[in-house]
Structures are given as structure tokens and as C-alpha cells.
Amino acid sequence: MLTYTIRRLILAIPTLLFISFVIFLIVKLSPSDPTAGLPLTIPPEVREQIRESLGVNDPVVVQYFKWLKLMVWDEPLHFIEGATGWQVAPDGPRIISYQTRSPVMDLIVQRMPQTLWVVGTSYIVGILIALPLGIISAYKQYSVFDQVGTFISMVGFSVPTFFTGVLFIVIFAVTLGWFPSVYDTTHEVTDWDSFVVQLKQIIMPVMVLGLYNASQISRYLRASMLDNLNQDYVRTARAKGLGEKTVVLVHVLKNSMIPVVTVIALNVPAVFGGAIITEQVFKVNGIGQLLIIAIQSGDVPVVQTVSFIFAVLIVLFSLIADILYGVLDPRIRYD
Amino acid sequence: MKRYSLLLGATALALAPAAAMAERGSSGHLNIIYWQAPSTLNPYLSGGTKEVESSSLILESMARFDETGAMVPWLAESIPTVENGGVSADLTSITWTIADGITWSDGSALTASDFVFTWQYCTHPEGGCAQAANYDGVTAVEAVDDKTVRITFNAPTPFPYTAFVGSESPVIQAAQFAECLGARAPECTDANFGPIGTGPFKVDEFRPNDVIELSANPNFRFPDRPYFGTVTFKGGGDATSAARSVCETGEFDYAWNLQMDPTILAGMAAQGRCAIEVAFGTSVERIHLNQTNPDPALGDARSTVEGGPHPFLTNPIIGQAMSMAIDRALIVEIGYGAGGKPTCNVLPAPDLYASTANDGCLVQDIPGAIALLDGAGIVDTNGDGIREYNGVPLRVLYQTSTNAVRQDTQALIKQWWAEIGIDTELRNIDASVFFGGDPASPDTFQKFYADIEMYTNNFAGVDPQAYMASWLCGDMPRPQSQWQGSNIQRFCDPAYDALVAEMARTADLNERGRLAREMNDMLVRYSIIPLVHRGGVSARAATLEGHRMSDWDSELWNIMDWRRTQ
């Protein structure tokens, strides 16, 4: 297992380099201009000076290697210094956002808490809803519960979040006035009252995303449970006189979770990636909103860096999913 | 000479406290939402409206423009003029005097050297200063003494109120930005995100592209203001949800730039929680008729003077008929609502410069347009429903940026032009490409690889001299200039160039007005078809008062006077 992990990690390096170069080319070669969003009253000579000062006019390869060096060497050192206080960070340039003229990593660190709060909570809520829904739906296949559960998860899966989000706002914020429609990113939880405020502002985006996640995971679990419920080992367990509870929740569930755990692990990078649409609808202003604003304004360093971090996370969690697979299923061995 | 009487008239009134009873912070907390979030609080590094307006809470300039476009002394004692000796008789220098008792929010005094530094900061060749145009023609900024700043120009400048006037060229603190000149500007993140200013508020926390928390500046020169003690300036979302948060849920007190379906906005306002505010500046949605030939067969010469004149759009009769066929009032009703009014001028304001000679275009006249074309012998000779001019059928490619209102306008105009026998092909291009100015892209508005294109332009401030100089023969975008240039429709008339030169020499305000109107009339007959005079649309909570929305300056220019109704 260890050799396998090490081999996979080493293989990941050329993969990530390739991914980063492709992302860079896509972003760079697309017709985008960091000065495009400025008012037309700003004359072309000034725009040219701005582009020059941003380094947009350097050759593409030079820009790529400048970025790569900063990304894999300088920025991690800055991160270590920020986290531990050791004086290890080199002087000199960092990856600078075109829009804010500030280090991209600082922006990401600033955005991470609200994204993890909202998207992370919604993922946990989604799993918590999906588990009972999937188990009962499969155990009582074609019952009323199964039909209703299937209907709800199909709705949750197919109705886009920009629709459910606005619907929630119109119902719960505008008509009923229960929850705020704008998320306050500066709010800090210090006591019970501020926790209630946080709960109120987080509940709508979490439920919108949670419904979507629950639909997806419950369908996987239901299918996987159905596969297992008809297996011989289930009949054997029942023949031994084990209670239904033990049969379903211990024997069947454990085996059914193998593919579901993989799906859950593979989707974890999406939690860090934020939810572009839901974040926009509720003005959560996390990583997703950072990315979409950067794309709109031609902010190459931000797009490049955020996409690269996603790529790292995806490669990493694919590996974790594979290892988990081996841990959960004794039939699978990598060495 | 009464040149600046209009500017001086409003000065005394503007600073008179509106609510003598109220005191600093008495109105509590103010929530503002800008659906495009500010990326930095240093307007010199961005140039976007959202950055200029958000930083105007903190940074200030010598003078500002009120809602009528009149100048109000702000950091200055008074507006310098030739009469009071502030502007030299040969119009090559202007001397500002800083009013007494003005300090930065950290308590140190504002001095003339801060202005000198600001000028050096923005004109540093490596800085990429977005507001450099405000310092065009300035050869020196000197501190005559602690309170006196003299700006010298390289030529007589009849309108010297560009540097340090309005929200786009505010003064920044020399002590804070001393290490941030030129290429080092981006390294000063703390200063760029938390500039020390003289304004009513100071920054407590800034999160780029998200939110700004501000509180009243304890060293502000008016002891009773600002009436609001703290401000949250939130960004993100879209125009509709911003309007909703003011007009329906009441979470916010002020929402900016509500470009949205006018009927939805009117419906929200009807609930009574908010009021819609509109301010008109100089923005005009207009159609440009390409005066050169965009035929793809010309290769590199297309849309250049070398490619030859346009086969039919250079004929004023055709342009006039196209203009007559348009129902501007309907375009306003469908797409702009309160935020627009029909116009026939490319220079619609200030009043002094607005021509009335073309107002006939406000009424749609399709039969008139048909008669005009028929009378000129431009008729359909081959029975396909499309007229021909010298054997060339009147088919046009009409492009604009991707935007729901613009596509509605395109569809309407295509319909009207079809009725007068002109066939229109529509095209829309993503705004970041269309306005992106990439010389390698064929789809920029400067390249104009189409017969007709539509967008909005305006000018900052109140003086149209530089704006009207956009249409000089020499300012056409062309390959030699990397397709840079402001004369988008490739208009060229030596008589127009002569008027531009005359305006640059003329100091008398009424004479300048006459020249500007004359130039406007030359442009709109018929290389530009103006459609809509666009205003800024904002919503304010019904409980907010003291708001005077100006499109000539930041919308938040008088935020120190805003207060909550009792």
C-alpha cells in the first residue's frame, strides 16, 4: 500500500504540471483583457500602461514559468510563515491579482472560511439526509416512501440551484422575513446569540446545496443497497437467524458503502471549490465567487492559481478514494 | 466675464448643514450594496466605477461636482478662477488653497506636499496609474507653501479643473504611500486596502471583492458629521438581488447601478420601502455608422481609410432615414424605464452644451423616412424588398455587446429598418471581448468589422473639450495605431477639426457652448445616431434622507449629509 501511494504521488507531479500548463494556455489564449471592464473614459494609452505594469505583455512562456516558480516555491514558504511565524518567506514578488493588486494566496485564505462553512456544512447535511433516504428507499423498494424519495431526489437533482436559491429567498426572506438574503462574511460566532445569527444566514444556502448533494448521494446508496440486498450472503445472514436490523445496517450497509464512500471522497474537492452559483445568489463571496469574478475581469493569476489548487485537490482525493477502496474492500489489494 | 458664476453659485449653499440638530453618528449604521464589489480602495490602481465610488467615502479632492454639475469647493477654500486670480490670465496655471483645519484621519495635517506626491504617484511611468488622464498636460505640481498648490499646464487650458477635482483624482497621503511609487505600487497592499483619507469615513476592514466596514472619521473637519457612525459596504450578486435587498427585505439602505428590467424595479418600488433615484450625466447609448468599408474582401484594409469609404453609410440621406425610423421612446420604455430618456444628441449635457437643433428625431417617422429615400432615388430596383444605392443593396451588419437590453433594442431597430427597406443582420459579442481592445481580436468595437455598432460612452467631469476632440480625423483606430483611437465611426471633416482647435483656444463659456453644440450637430448628421440619454439608477431606503445623487461625481459624494429620518 505504501509503495503504491508513493508511486501515485510521484506520478501526480507530471500530471499536475501538465494540467497547470493547459489551464494557463486556455486562460491566456482566450480573448480577455484586464482593462476591458474599465470605463471607456479611460484612454487607450493609460490602458496600455496598466497592462504593461501588470506584466500582461510578457511572452506567454515567461509568464508561465514566473508563475510556476512562485506557485511551487515562494507561495508555500509564505504559507508556512503565515501559519507558524517562522521567518522563511523570501522577499520579492508574489502572485499578484490583476484586480486587487494584492497576493492571490491572501485572497484565497480570506475566502476559505465562508466557503468551508457554507459548502462544507451543506455536504455534511447532504450526507446525513442521503443515508436514511437511500437505505429505506432500497429496503422498501417501490413503496410510497421510495416513490416520494425518488421524486424529491429527482427534483433536487434536476432543478438548478439558481432557481431553488431565488425561490428560497422569495419565500423565506421576502415573504416570511425569517432569514437574511445577504450573507454577512464578517460575522463572527462568539456566543449563543451570534451562533443563532450565523445559523439563520447559513440555513438557506446550506439547504439549497444540501438538497442537491443529498439527491445525488441517496441515488448511489439506493442502487448499491439494492445490488447487495439480493446477494447470497444476505440470505445466509437471515438464515442464521440475525435480526433485520443487523442484516441491513451492518452486513448490507457496510458493503453498500464501498462505492458510495468513493463518490463522497471524489466530491470533497468541490467543497473547497465553492459553489459559484449559490455563492452568487446568497452573496457568500467565497472561492466560487472569487473565481467567477476573476474570469469575468480577465484576472489570469487568480484563475490560474485557484484552478491549480482545485487540480491538486482532485488528484489528491482521487488517491484517497482509491486507498479507501482498498481499506474497505479486502478483495482489493494494490501490492 | 461670467464664466464661472454658475460654478460659484452653489458653493456656499452646498456646505450648509442640512440638519442642525443631528450630531456625528446619531443615525447609527448604514448598509450600502454595490452588486459589483470593489477590488481595491486605491482608485489610482483600478479606475473602475466601483473602486472610485467606494474610495470616495475615504479619499477626497479639492472640489466636487454636485447634482447639477456645479463645482463645490471641498478641500479647497474656494474655486480658483481668472477673476479671483486663482487661474493665471494666460490660462496655463491654477492655484488652489487648502481650507483651514483639514487633517487626515490619523490626525496629521493635510499639506500641499500631499498633492505634489499624489501627482508624482499617478504620473510615475512604471505605475500604470488608471487615472493618469486627469493629469494630462500637467507639467508641474508645486507646493507654494503648506496651504497652496500650484498646477502648471503645458498649454493654455480653458478648463483647468481636471487634476484633484471630482472623485477620480483624490489626494492620497504622502506619508502612507511614500514607498509605493511606480512598480512598487502593488506591494503596498495595506495602503491600497486601507488608505488614510480626509473623508467622512475611515476603513476598519476591507475584504477585496466582498465587503468594506467603515466608521466615522474621528478627525473629520465637520464635528457634527457624518451622521452615520458606521457603514457596511457589501458587494456581490446581481442588480436584481441588490434591488430586492433594499426594496423588499429592507436589509440594505442603498443599492447602486440597478440596470434591470424597469417593470420589475417599478414593481419593487411600488411596495413603498424604497425610492428610486436617477441622475443623468453624459452617458448616451448611440449607434455608430461606419464611414469606411468593412467588406471582408478588403483583408487588412477593411474598416480603414485605405479600404475606401463605406458604399452607402456615408450618404447622409440614408443615415437620416435610419434615424427617423427609430422610436426612441419605445426603446426607453422597454429597456431603460426611469433610467433613460430619448435623445438626439451625442453630447446631451450639461445644458449649456446640449443642442436642440436635432430634436425632430424624438418622434418616429417611418413614412417620412420612406419618402426621403424614395425622393433621393434610393429605391428597390430588383423587387427583393431591399433598397439599392448605386447598385449596392442596403444590407447592414449591426453589432453590439451581449446584454439583454441591447439585444432587445437591436431586434426593435432591425424591425423598423426592415420597414424602410434596409436589411439588418444582428450580432452580439461578449462585453469583455468587445470592449477589451485586444488588437489581435477581430471583434473589438475599435476594429469595427461591421457596418453599424451600438454601445454607450460618456465623459467624466463637466467639460466636453477632450470628449469632442475624440472625433478628429487623426484619431481613427487603424493598424498603425494598434487599432487604438477614439474616432470609432471613422468620421473625418476638416471643418470639425477646425472647431476642435478653436474650442481649445476659447475661454468664454458661452462661446465654448456654441462650439460644442455645433460639433455635436455635425456628428449626429449622420455618422452617429444617438438613442438614449442614460442615467444612473439607484434605490434608497425610504428612511434615508439627505441624499443628492450626482452623476457628475461619485454617487456617494455627499454621504456626510446622509441621515436616517426620525
Contact A186 B126 (CB under 8 A): no
Q: A91 in contact with B at a CB cutoff of 8 Å?
A: no
Q: Smallest Cβ distance to B210: which of A39, A51, A285? A: A285
What is the reported pLDDT for B410?
96
* CA distance linking residue B213 with residue B31, whole number of Å: 10
Distance from CA of A283 to the nearest CA of B (A): 5
Question: In tens digits, what is the pLDDT along chain B, a chain of 566 residues?
Answer: 344 444 443 443 444 444 446 789 899 999 999 988 898 999 998 878 889 999 999 999 999 998 888 899 999 999 999 889 999 988 899 999 999 999 999 999 999 999 999 999 999 888 778 888 889 889 999 999 999 999 999 988 888 998 999 898 999 999 999 998 888 887 788 999 999 999 999 999 999 989 999 999 999 999 998 999 999 999 888 888 999 999 999 999 999 988 888 889 999 999 989 999 999 989 999 999 999 999 999 988 999 999 999 999 999 999 999 999 999 999 999 999 889 999 999 999 888 899 999 999 999 999 999 999 999 999 999 889 999 999 999 999 999 998 889 999 999 999 999 999 999 999 999 887 888 777 778 898 999 999 999 999 888 778 898 899 889 998 899 888 888 888 999 999 999 999 999 998 888 889 999 999 999 999 999 899 999 999 989 999 999 999 999 888 899 999 999 999 87
Burial class of residue A319 (count of CB atoms within 10 Å of its CB; 0-12, 13-18, 19+): middle
What is the C-alpha to C-alpha distance for residues A73 and A71, in angstroms, rounded to an integer?
Answer: 6
- The share of chain A scoring above pLDDT 90, in percent, equals 19
> Which of B36, B162, B204, B210 is best to mutate for the A interface (most A CBs within 10 A)?
B210
How far, in Å, CA of B552 to CA of A293, rounded?
27
Q: How far is CA B94 from CA A211, B76, B83, B153, in A?
A: 65, 12, 12, 9
Contacts of B207 in chain A (CB under 8 A): 110, 185-186, 285
What is d(CA A19, CA B167) in angstroms, rounded to the nearest whole number?
43
Length of chain B, in residues: 566
Distances (CA, A) of B256 to A53, B248, B253: 30, 15, 10
Q: Which of B283, B276, B7 is nearest to B166 (CA)?
A: B7
The pLDDT of residue B234: 93
Q: Give the chain B residue nearest A171 (alpha carbons).
A: B249
Taking an 8 Å cut-off on Cβ atoms, the answer to whether B432 and A31 are in contact is: yes
**DSSP state at residue B103:** B
Identify all chain A residues contacting B441, using CB atoms and an 8 Å cutoff: 31
Which of A39, A173, A298 shows the shortest C-beta gap to B249?
A173
Query: Which chain B residues touch A173 with a CB distance below 8 Å?
Result: 249
Q: Which three cell numbers stand for residue B328?
A: 426612441
Report the residue from A35, A43, A290 with minimal CB separation from B133.
A43
CB A67 within 8 A of CB B462: no
A107 with B435: Cβ contact below 8 A: no
Q: Do B433 and A46 touch (CB under 8 A)?
A: no
Q: Does B185 touch chain A (CB under 8 A)?
A: yes
A180: closest chain B residue by CA: B251
Pairing relation of β-strands B423-429 and B395-401?
parallel
DSSP SS3 for B337: helix
What does the buried/exposed string (b/e) look like for B102-120 if buried means 16 or more CB atoms within 10 Å of the residue's CB?
bebbeeeebbbebbbbbbb
Cross-chain residue pair A52–B128, CB shorter than 8 Å: yes
What are the φ and ψ backbone dihedral angles of B397, each rounded to 5 degrees? -100, 125
Q: What is the rounded CA–CA span in Å between residue B550 and residue B71?
A: 11
Residue among A35, A97, A284 minimizing CB distance to B437: A35
Cell of residue A78, nine digits: 509564505
Whether the bond into B479 is cis, omega within 30 of 0: no
What's the 3-state SS for A170-201?
HHHHHHCCCCCCCCCCCCCCCCHHHHHHHHHH
User: Which residues 6+ apart lie within 8 Å of B262 measured at CB?
Assistant: B333, B335, B336, B337, B338, B339
Show the cell assigned to A205.
444556502
Which DSSP string do the residues of A276-297 spell out, in sequence order? HHHHHHHT--SHHHHHHHHHHT
- Looking at the DSSP bridge assignments, the partners of residue A261 are none
Q: Does A37 touch chain B (CB under 8 A)?
A: yes
Q: What is the pLDDT of residue A335?
A: 63
Q: What is the pTM of this model?
A: 0.84
The residues pairing with B228 across neighbouring beta strands, listed in sequence order, are B28
CB-based contact, B154 to chain A, within 8 Å: no
Identify all chain A residues contacting B486, using CB atoms and an 8 Å cutoff: 43-44
Any B CB within 8 A of A51 CB: yes
* Chain A: closest CA distance from residue B480 (Å): 14
Give the SS3 label for residue B453: strand
Q: In this structure, what is the dihedral angle of CA atoms A64, A69, A74, A80, given to the nearest 10 degrees?
A: 100
Q: Give the Cα separation of B377 and B464 in Å (integer).
A: 38
Identify the pLDDT of residue B21.
60
User: Which one of A35, A166, A185 has the shortest CB-CB distance to B207?
Assistant: A185
ipTM: 0.83
A50 and B CB contact within 8 Å: yes
Inspect the interface and report whether the beta carbons of B48 and A181 lie closer than 8 Å: no
Residue B564: φ, ψ to 5°: -90, 135
Contact B189 A110 (CB under 8 A): no
- Are residues B437 and A182, on separate chains, in Cβ contact within 8 Å? no
B252 contact A CB<8A: yes
* Separation of alpha carbons B258 and B243, rounded Å: 7
The answer for A 154-173 residues in CB contact with B (under 8 A) is 166, 169, 173
- CB of B433 within 8 Å of a chain A CB? The answer is yes
All cell numbers assigned to A74 = 515562494
CA distance A271 to chain B (A): 20
Q: In which region does residue B397 sit, left (phi positive, over 0), alpha (psi from -120 to 50) or beta (all else)?
A: beta
Calpha distance B104→B194 (Å, rounded): 13
* Partners of residue B238 in chain A, C-beta under 8 Å: 280
Nearest CA in chain A to B130: A46
Looking at the partner chain, which of B207, B249, B438 has a beta carbon nearest the beta carbon of A181?
A: B249
Partner A contacted by B204 (CB < 8 A) = no
Residues in chain A with pLDDT values less than 50:
none
Read off the pLDDT of residues A199-237 as tens digits, 9 standing for 90 and up: 999 999 999 989 888 998 999 999 999 998 888 988 898
Considering only residues 451 to 470 of chain B, which have any Cβ-Cβ distance to chain A shorter than 8 Å? 455-460
> Bridge partners of B533?
B284, B341
pLDDT score recorded for residue B5: 41
The answer to whether B47 contacts A39, with C-beta atoms less than 8 Å apart, is yes
Residues 69-128 of B with CB under 8 A from A: 125-128
- Helix extents (H) in B441-493: 465-468
Q: Are the Cβ atoms of B241 and A285 closer than 8 angstroms?
A: no
Kindly list the residues from chain A whose CB atom is less than 8 angstroms away from the CB atom of residue B245: 181-182
B210 to chain A: which residues are within 8 Å by CB? 110-111, 185, 285, 289
| Residues A204/A168, Cβ–Cβ less than 8 Å | yes
Contacts with B, A 4-33, CB within 8 Å: 31-33
